[in-house]
Amino acid sequence: MTKHTIATKYIIGAASVACSLLFAASASASALEQFKTFAAGTKSAKGEFVQRQVKKADAGGKAKLSTPASGTFEFARPGKFIWTYLKPYEQLLQADGEQLYIYDKDLSQVTIKKLGDALGSSPAAILFGSNDLEKNFTLAEAGTRDGLEWLKATPKAKDTTFDEITIGLRNGVPEAMELRDSFGQTSILSFKNFQKNPSLAANHFKFVMPKGADVIKN
């Protein structure tokens, strides 16, 4: 799977990030309570992420993690975000509420996609979309693990790339996401340095086409 495919698949579900929750949420609150507080109170955020793929189990039956990819994210609800991979390669995924731009610096290539309904049942909808999550997902408690309260989000649509998404929260802050796709593969994301509702200019998410870049429209 190419780096372009992995990044696109995460962001729009056919082809994800995190946000700050309200720090006032109680440490004893359930994952669902914490997440609903987040959805209602976080209109924008920014922070850092690390993303890994779970590789197939080795001969001893132990799964391995891929080399981590890392970078930064910013978002403003609904449907505006900047997801930047910095390591091990540079790539930018940016949405202005209507279109998604995927810029591969190495190839000097920009792919443009319409967000449309594809955002609705993708992992990106949880983080960047509207607050009406239960329209597209069935939400359920998923227990406590690694010191986090986990929430499971199952897409209601049957034709999505991801079968299950789980979100780990602590003290009202999402610290991890696990994304299991229809091929049985799992992506793991961890988040840090959240800033809740930062001041962002109105044109902050407007994409500026890199000079000389090839453009592909899907």
Q: 8 pLDDT band (50/70/90 cuts)?
A: low
pLDDT of 3 > 70? The answer is no
Q: What percent of the chain has pLDDT over 70?
A: 80
Q: 27 pLDDT band (50/70/90 cuts)?
A: very low
**The model's pTM:** 0.79
Residue pLDDT, tens place only, 152-203: 999 888 777 788 899 999 887 789 999 988 887 899 999 999 888 999 888 9
Which residues face 135 on adjacent strands?
none
Q: What percent of the chain has pLDDT over 90?
A: 42
Whole-number mean pLDDT of the chain? 81
Closest-CA residue to 71 (of 185, 213, 193)? 193
Identify the structural domains of the chain with CATH numbers, from first to last: 3-191 (2.50.20.10)
Q: 5 pLDDT band (50/70/90 cuts)?
A: low
